[in-house]
Structure 1
Amino acid sequence: MPTAPQTTDELYRALKDNDRLPYGRVRTVTAEELVDAAERFAEPVPLVHALLELQEAYTYGSEPRKSPVVFARLLTLFDEQPEIFDARLRHTLFWRFKWVANALRQLPEMPLASLRQWLTEMGERYEKEGFGLQPYYGQAYQLAAHTGKDTTPAYELWAARTRTPLSDCEACEICERALYHLVTGDDERALRAWEPVLEGTESCQEEPARSISHALLPLLRTGRTDEARHLHLAGYRSCRRNTSMSAEVGRHLEFCALTGNEARGLELLAENRSLLDEVDSPLALFDFLTGVEVLLQRVDILGHGDLPAAGFAGRAWTVSGLRAEVRDRADRLAARFDARNETTAHTDRRRARLDRAPLLDALELTLRPRTLDDRAPAAPMAAATRTAAEPATSLPELVMQARALDEEGHPDAQACWAELRTRVAARDYTHPEDPAVGPLVRLRADLLDEEASRAGERDEYEDCAALHEEAAGLYEDAGQPGQAAVARACAVLAAAEVPGEGAEETERRVAALTAAHASVVGLHEGATALAPYQEARLLRLRATALGLRLQASGNQEHAAPVFAELDLLHTFASRHGIRGQISGARMLRATTHAMSGDLPAAITEIDAHLHDLREHGPAWHLPRVLGLRGRLQLGTQDAEAAHASLSEGLRLAADWPAGTGDPTRLHSDLAEACMHVGRPEDALRHLTRSAELDLRHGNRTDAFCAYSNAAQLSLDLGRVEDCIALLDSLLGEPDVVAGEVDDRLVAQLRLTRARALRAGEDVKAATVELVELAALSASWDDDPGSHAMIAAEAAVLLGESGEFDRAREAADQAVAAHARAPRYEQLSNCLRELARLQAQQQGPDGLADALDRLAAADRIAEEARTAGYEAHGRSLETALAYEHGRVHAYAGAYEDALIALDKALALLGEPGAEEDHAAEWAECVRLASAVEGIYLERPAPALSRLDAAVSRLSALGHTEETAPLTSLAARLRDEE
């Protein structure tokens, strides 16, 4: 707190500001400082308010040892000066007797006799004040449930009593009743009791998050898996990183462990790592640690005990090591509670949770399914999923097999090269004296050449060129001039692909590829002793260089040379029966037709190519060719055919080693096809699969972009919690947290998350996110338009929260950024919405500020007119006139409201049979008629307006739009 309040007004403002903060150390420390400040005033009432705020901070900040101490001060003030407690303060004081009872139960060092003594005092004071005793019996039952002794009679004494104004809220009492039925083994009855909370009818500070965490396993046991999945996502978000809800977090970890989602459980544990050290409630910590142990135990049993795990601060942990530490701490806590309670209830409950068998082998919880293998360190080279033959055992056999497979471009060659790389790197490696294998320098050249090819597949062109060049030198040393020529040609082409910078990059790249083609031709013509497969590769490189030049330049004059080179390649490969190069030539020809704008020719070529492949092979080319065919079909807007081609390509790719046919691209293209054929859920699945494959291959930017699209799609589909869970997972990635991912991409993820939070009605969290993004984007000098958009959205959310001063500041930022990069419609929408919110919330007092916002929106509309901008929906002038009507109506200026609405109607124009603004026109008529007929008490003209509108809409066939008008007319006639 920068400066201590100097007046009671400043104190109350500071208390109000502190109340807006999330529970935690910042809020608690400020509350402590405000109590110190309040003690300096002569008035006791401000001190009461400060103490109440401090007790709340301790209670929801999981510091149960301190809450009773603060309450004791409040109770002393009440006993000494009861007159300072008005009805509201008195109600709050007696309500918090229950908070103290709950705090004392959480402390194993607090004797059982003291807990019972507190309940006795609570009962006596309630009786003295004339309050009903149902809350007292509720606390008595909770103590019995805690100790596991005499639970049923305590429950009956409480549950049979009528609620009083001091009873726990409906949601909390529902949870207690459901938990009682759960303990008795009646899942169905417990879930029936929970229905009002789980369905959102009843809620409070802790609900429904608390009930959800308890209901997850009963839902699974009764077969309601979809509901359990949805509630896990929503419930976890409400309690994550919340010290006062650590027990609930523990139950979500347990849920992950018992549904085959151990990897997600470890992810959530990492997100809540701070709870291990910050939770000051022994009871909450006990529940949390038990949930953590259930998860770690399951991971350990599955054989992944060596995985790293997020644990207590101060050291690095493995799953096994952390499990042992957690087990020891939780066992000691259970023993302390059981000793205090004189039962074995906590040990028994803990054992029951740890002994539970998994309820499902696999339940897909999120759009980003992870396995424990995904969390394991990646192997240097993944093994192939299938091989053409059993790997050779002797090194000469393995070398010959690798070279033979490589000559025909067979994908199984990768596994052979990986095995050779491992053997050659071994300390005891001895190169065989075998003429068929050749010298070690040739094998090293082979391995370097294969490594260079993999670098090229990752678009690491500088490394690719250097490795090919090094391999070429070794091939020459080994007496392999043909291989040296091919490797050097590959190096030339890779060097031309290295990206440059500047506005003339396209011209530079075209020139580089032209030179590269000339160099490859020179290498080809100067090479000696070329084997047919080597000559075919050189021809392929020549054609590829020219194809890339056509792609870079878009110059159709560059197409003919490509076709000429492809004819040479196809003729040569056909003469020598090199099936892989025949296929490559035909695929490049189809691609060249497509780049030339002749999609029908491209499809004809690719169809003939597919027929040839199916008859003669090579079969491993089918996935990639089907992928190209699908993209071409998308280009011709034949989405159904594209979907079929891409689906077949993806299916066939699964028959070959990982990466064959580019399954990442297939999934991405198939997502697009699914959207075109009206299958958005399938599109979402393919998008997320594409993203995860990109992550596994190290293409993190591409992966985050794909996941960003998936998050937006899930939001568009109304899958709000799925969207938030996906984004939370991505934003928790180590490189994102460390700031190593492009800041604009991260900002886009956060923006989508903010919009999802808003859609999920978590306005407070959405506002925090957008305000932070607005501050971040203010520094984007190269992109003021994005800042304008973000600041405008933040302003609206601040307005919804009633923070109009901050909303005005954000809107002013948006307007300033808009001046540099216009966002007419977004700014107009923002300013009009702020005006409406202020008039709606403040009435006449907010009219002046609301009109200022509308005047700013009018200036935006004038700028848009001057610039020739056309809005996507109704015109900005029409929207502005309509908002003038609403703002004046909210402020009670009904004559001005009616004038504005009549102007809006004139600007809209009457609807026609085919026009799409009938609903908007009808709503404007309805509001104008309500203002005129109800608030201005002129029903006759209002009814005339309504009847005429109903007649026109009905005649045009817009019957649905007439319903609200007919309803209003009936109301006006009833009131006449």
Structure 2
Amino acid sequence: MPTAPHPQSTDELYRALQENDRRPYGRTRTVAAEELAAAAEQFEEPVPLVHALFELQEAYTYGSEPRKSPVVFARLLTLFDEQPDVFDERLRHMLFWRFKWVSNALRALPEIPLTSLRQWLTEMRDRYERAGFGLQPYYGQAYQLAAHLGEDTTLAYELWAARTRTRLSDCEACEICERALYHLVAGDDERALRTWEPVLAGKESCQEEPARSVSYALLPLLRTGRTDRARELHLAGYRACRRNPSMSGEVGRHLEFSALTGNEARGLELLAENRNLFDEVDSPLDLLDFLTGVEVLLRRVEFLGHGDLPAAGYAGRTWTVAGLRAEVRGRADDLAARFDARNGTTAHTDRRRERLDRAPLLDALELTLRTRGLDDVAPATPVAAPTARTATAVPEPLPELILRARELDAEGHPDAQACWARLRTLVAARDYVHPDDPAVGPLVRLRADLLADEASRAGDDEYAVAAGLYEEAAGLYDDAGEPGHAALAGACALLAAAETPAEGADGPETKAAALTAAHAAMVRLHEETPGLAPYQEARLLRMRATALGLRLQTSGSEEHVAPVLAEVDLLDAFATRHDVAGQISGALLLRASTYAISGDLPAAVTEADALLDRLKAHGPAWHLPRTLGLRGRLRLGLQDAPAAHADLSEALRLAADWPAEAVDTVRLHGDLAEACMHLGRPDEALRHLTRSAELDLRRGNRTDAFCTYSNAAQLSLDLGRVEDCIALLDSLLAEPDAVAGELDDRLVAQLRLTRARALHTGEDLKAATAEFVALASESAAWDDDPGSHAMIAAETAVLLGEAGDFGRAREAADQALAAHARAPRYEQLSNCVRELARLQAQQQGPDGLPGALAYLADAGRIADEARAAEYRAHGRSLDTALAYEHGRVNAYAGEYEDALAALEKALALLGEPGPGEDHAGEWAECVRLAGAVEGIYLERPAPALTRLDAAVSRLTALGHTEEAEPLVSLAARLRDEE
């Protein structure tokens, strides 16, 4: 199926070639190039065909199809021999440049005999000599062949490296890489890294650099102790080569780097992201490089005991790590043997063995903000996670296990979870036999216990599920003759049902009414249930107080405070009388929380202090982390960030002794992140945010986890950690539920939006623009949220403007303006269209003025609408900003009188700065631009100097010496030119 209409003229052909040149390398671009080359055959003049064949060869070369590239080049060489005049200087240069491409392609094919490789180099040398070109490029190819063969490269290297570069030499970046690799093979890591530095620092680059050099430099950086540099380059370098068939070898080296730094889980994640390479790489040499990197990773994972983990491999079947490793090993061994047979050496087999035998260089290097181990990607098991504290041993005899679970549960002890988990496994077994023991009771009682435990672990969004489980448990308890436990399960069911969102109901009033009813039903249940044990009655009182506390939290009504405190007093008195330690603590915690909800934070802190004193003296110890967490949050509310940080850090330290669910470590990490931000420690905050998110993810709270990760990504971007931000978002967006569309689409869109902004900040304009364009298209369908679409379309328009695509920028801006009409975003839209005006005038000069003025007219209408709506901008007024932009736009377009008039208007709107005013910088910049327009472009230095001198005097008198410096410099320039 054709990818584009068949060109009917050479102009159409050239346009189609230009459009194809903007596509990323891959099958779509290659198929289009094949169709365009075929279409070019219809034209009598040969030049269009030459252009089409060059485009086709480039598509094959960078699409990893080396078998086809030499065939196209042979056609070009024949055309050159038959009609040399068809090739102008640029086409002739391109032809001779691509002799090197053919050399690279032939080396990559083991079926090409070695004699043919040498004959091609001879052909290249003869052609270069006849054309009068220097031979340094030829010697470069001769050296690369020697290195490929594994011969002694000393002489070949000197013959190449000692020669002066020519116009046909490989680019500086590529030659630097080859020189560095020579030193690397010789075992001199330090010299290799010194050689590489201009490329690694971004001073030299090309189509494949610095990504190629980065992939080779990672291990030398580790071996020489430069771990931070290796981490930084891994993130940036991997992103530049991922999924790219022509850079599959580079991807393989990033997989190897992950395996040798304790990041095997990240390696499997990257392997999954590059699954396409198994089938799309047509270069045997690149494939060997890639597969060897894959095998290094898989071998390490299997060595660590995770050979049964799923792994992404060849399409058409499901792979485990062990199964894929065996497949990869066989294919890579065969490829290495074929190259060695062709070359008459053992170089490729030896290099493979050297890579596979490397020991890890580091036990653990934190590569990304989302640090995960192989256990995190293993299938979930029902066994409770181990804790730092030595937990109470789970008894092995079944009767003792059942009784111990109930004893711990009555205390509210966290170790009950491990006992219930073990019992759940035993009871589910087909050969389970229930003990015939009066102390244990019937099987129906145990099944009720397990249902109640399962209900207690339901997530915050599973209230209806929990309510159903509790109701079922209550029925089984009744059947077992346990009315006290039935009452407790029934009360839990009432509370869960009250928290379940009602269909069609809205507002907190509905939920508050449900909680009121639940409390009344609990009171009746309490009164109607005889023979309650003290711990059961205390737990019922606790639930009554909790229901009223949740009602207060929902309504925020002052009249709901006293009923909560009354119930808390009942609980406190009862628990104290019967010495139920856990419920005494619970009563004090509820009292502190009630004061906090009612807004009396000092009273809440006093209660928390008293509770902490009691817990340290009498326990239970597992309530300490939760209470410290509460006091930490209270202190945050009182603006005492240092004390809050201390409490929360201690809570987190103590929480390590207990299961995460018992003390809500997710929230502790989140609160610590907030405290760190207040203390100006954003990097520490970032660590806590990512830890909180990953814990939520492990507990199955995926929406909460993704929201927290979204905040972490934004924070990392704000901190300038662009590659960290992108790597984190890439990892999240590759999660199966994100790929399958099972997550909230707006949440996924937010992640993609942050990623697009990070790409823009990282100056990857092409990738950022593509993502913004896609998001703008998708958000156009958000009828319930036109404001978000307006913002996305506006940012898209600006990026298109930066890329010089003003036609599409205008379309995107019109989308933004249409959405703005439904949900106004005055300041943001004004900023967008003004920036587009500046970009168009700056890039196109006078030709861009009409389009720029049209954008400024849009900004004028937005300012009028904002004024009518009595909207106040957060920064300078929209009218002032508009006047200033009129000045800049007209200056770029050469309309200097109009520019000066607009700047005068902007200065009048701004007004001169006074003591303590914060617009001195804006005012000074406006004066500077007016001075430049008047003094330089309108050639009226005298009034310009009067303006500048007066402004300098005023700024200096107000103490704004830094803002005055550009004006002083401009004035000095004008005086020098007089």
CA contact (8 A) 2:588 2:611 kept: yes
8 Å CA contact retained: 2:4, 2:32: no
Query: 5 Å matches for 1:385-404?
Result: 385=387, 386=389, 389-404=392-407
What is the DSSP-based 3-state SS (H/G/I as helix, E as strand, rest coil) of the residue aligned with 2:663? coil
In the TM superposition, 1:355-434 aligns within 5 A as: 355-385=357-387, 386=389, 389-434=392-437
Distance 1:422 1:148 in 2: 59
Residue 388 and residue 3 in structure 1: after superposition, are their counterparts in 2 closer, same or farther (change >3 A)? Answer: closer
Q: State how far apart, in whole Å, the 1-side matches of 2:948 and 2:266 are.
A: 57
* TM-score, normalising length: structure 2: 0.99
Counterpart position of 1:799: 801
1:698 to 694, 700, 725: 700
Residue type of the partner of 1:425? A
* Residue identity in the other structure for 2:399: P
Number of the residue aligned with 1:678: 680
Quick one: distance in 2 between partners of 1:45 and 1:472? 86
| Cα distance in 1 between the residues matched to 2:661 and 2:475 | 29
Of 780, 783, 794, the match for 1:781: 783
Q: Does 1:276 align with 2:302?
A: no
Q: 1:388 to 1:369 in 2, by over 3 A?
A: closer
Alignment partner, residue 738 of structure 1:
740
Q: Which amino acid aligns with 1:961?
A: E
- Report matched runs for 1:259-274 at 5 Å: 259-274=261-276
Distance 1:476 1:500 in 2: 28
1:229-628 to structure 2, matched below 5 A, reads 229-385=231-387, 386=389, 389-455=392-458, 457-502=459-504, 504-628=506-630
Pairwise CA distance, 1:469? 1.3
5+ long unaligned stretches in structure 2: none
What is the aligned partner in structure 1 of residue 28 from structure 2? 26
> Which deviations, in whole Å up to 9, do the C-alpha atoms of 1:732-786 show, x marking residues without a partner?
0000000000000000000000000001000000000000000000000000000
Q: Which moved more, 1:392-401 or 1:647-656?
A: 392-401
Q: Cα 1:502–1:297, aligned 2, differ >3 Å: closer, same or farther?
A: same
For residue 326 of structure 2, give the secondary structure of its aligned residue in structure 1: helix
Q: Does 1:809 align with 2:814?
A: no
Secondary structure of the equivalent of 1:204?
Answer: coil
Alpha-carbon distance in 2 for matches of 1:363, 1:6:
58
User: Equivalent residue for 1:761?
Assistant: 763
Letter in 2 for 1:575: R
Q: Which moved more, 1:726-735 or 1:479-488?
A: 479-488
C-alpha displacement of 1:381: 3.7
Give the residue type in structure 2 aligned to 1:396: P
More displaced 10-residue stretch of structure 1: 964-973 or 288-297: 964-973
Q: Kindly state the Cα deviation for residue 83 of structure 1 after the two structures are TM-superposed.
A: 1.3
Query: What are the superposed Cα offsets for residues 466-508 of structure 1, whole Å, 9 maximum, x if unpaired?
Result: 1111111111121111111111111111111111244634222
Whether the aligned pair in 2 keeps the contact of 1:387 and 1:412 (CA below 8 Å) is no
Q: Letter of the aligned partner of 1:453 in structure 2?
A: S
Q: Which amino acid aligns with 1:430?
A: V
Q: 1:319 to 1:335 in 2, by over 3 A?
A: same
CA contact (8 A) 1:144 1:150 kept: yes
1:46 aligns with 2:48: yes
SS in 1 for 2:660: coil
When residues 501 and 916 of structure 1 are mapped into structure 2, their CA distance, relative to the original with a 3 A threshold, is farther
Corresponding residue of 1:79 = 81
C-alpha distance after superposition, 1:570-605 (max 9, x if no partner): 000000000111111111111111111111111111
Q: CA deviation at 1:384?
A: 4.7
- On the 8 A contact 1:384/1:658 being kept in 2, the answer is no
What is residue 110 of structure 1 aligned with on the other side?
Answer: 112
CA distance in 2, matches of 1:466, 1:3: 61
Measured against aligned partners, the alpha-carbon deviations of 1:345-371 in whole angstroms (never above 9, x if no partner) come to 111111110111100000000000010
Cα distance in structure 1, aligned partners of 2:30 and 2:506 = 58
Alignment correspondent of 2:868: 866
SS of residue matched to 2:838 = helix
Unmatched 5+ residue regions in structure 1?
Answer: none
Report what 2:829 is aligned to.
827
The alignment partner of 1:660 has SS state of helix
The separation in 1 between residues aligned to 2:965 and 2:7, in whole angstroms, is: 56
Please give the secondary structure, in 1, of the residue aligned with 2:599.
Answer: coil
Structure 1 residue 660, shift from structure 2 partner: 2.1
Describe the SS at the equivalent of 1:659. Answer: helix
Deviations 1:198-256 (A, max 9, x none): 00100000000000000000000000000000000000000000011000000000000
Cα distance in structure 2, aligned partners of 1:184 and 1:388: 54
650, 654, 659: which one pairs with 2:652? 650
- Aligned letter for 2:874? H
**Secondary structure at 2:662 match in 1:** coil
Render the CA deviation track for 1:663-692: whole Å, top value 9, x for unaligned. Answer: 000000110010001110000000000000
Percent sequence identity is: 80
TM score, norm. by length of structure 1 = 0.99
The question of whether the paired residues in 2 share the 8 Å contact of 1:187 and 1:222 is answered with yes
User: In structure 1, what residue type is equivalent to 2:561?
Assistant: A
Secondary structure of the 2:912 match is coil
Distance in 2 separating the partners of 1:837 and 1:157:
49
C-alpha distance in 1, partners of 2:6/2:177? 41
Partner of 1:135: 137
Deviates more, 1:283-292 or 1:141-150: 141-150
User: Aligned equivalents of 2:915 and 2:460: distance in 1?
Assistant: 56
CA distance in 2 between partners of 1:735 and 1:216 (Å)? 32
Q: Distance in 2 between matches of 1:244 and 1:387?
A: 52
Partners of 1:774 and 1:573 in 2: CA distance? 60
Question: What is the distance in 1 between the residues matched to 2:595 and 2:660?
Answer: 29
Q: Whole-Å Cα distance in 1 between the matches of residues 76 and 39 of structure 2?
A: 16
Supply the AA of the counterpart residue of 1:286: L
Matched pairs, number: 975
Q: Tell me the distance in 1 between the aligned counterparts of 2:246 and 2:286.
A: 8
Which has the larger displacement, 896-905 or 751-760? Answer: 896-905
Alignment of 1:133-172 (within 5 A): 133-172=135-174
Give per-residue Cα distances to partners, 1:792-814, cap 9 Å, x unaligned. Answer: 00000001111100000000000
Deviations 1:609-636 (A, max 9, x none): 1111111111100111111111111111
Following TM superposition, by how much is the alpha carbon of 1:387 offset from its aligned partner in structure 2, in angstroms? 5.4
Decide whether the 8 Å contact of 1:61 with 1:244 is kept in 2: yes
Runs of 4 or more off by more than 4 Å in structure 1?
A: none
Alpha-carbon offset, residue 637 of structure 1: 1.3
Q: Which moved more, 1:337-346 or 1:961-970?
A: 961-970
- 1:471 alignment partner, SS class: helix
Whichever residue aligns with residue 960 of structure 2, its letter is H
Shift of 1:458: 4.1
Q: Contact (CA 8 Å) 1:384, 1:412: kept in 2 or not? A: no
Residue in 2 that maps onto 1:970: 972
Quote how far apart the aligned CAs of 1:383 are. Answer: 4.3
Q: Secondary structure of the residue that 1:223 maps to in structure 2?
A: coil
* Aligned amino acid, residue 447 of structure 1: L
Matched, 1:841 2:843: yes
2 CA distance for matches of 1:631 and 1:327?
55
CA distance in 1 between counterparts of 2:149 and 2:916 reads: 71
With 664-673 and 549-558 compared, the bigger mean Cα shift is at: 549-558
Q: After the TM superposition, which of the residue ranges 495-504 and 266-275 deviates more from structure 2?
A: 495-504
Aligned-partner residue type, residue 367 of structure 1: L
Match of 1:953 in 2: 955
Cα RMSD (Å): 1.1
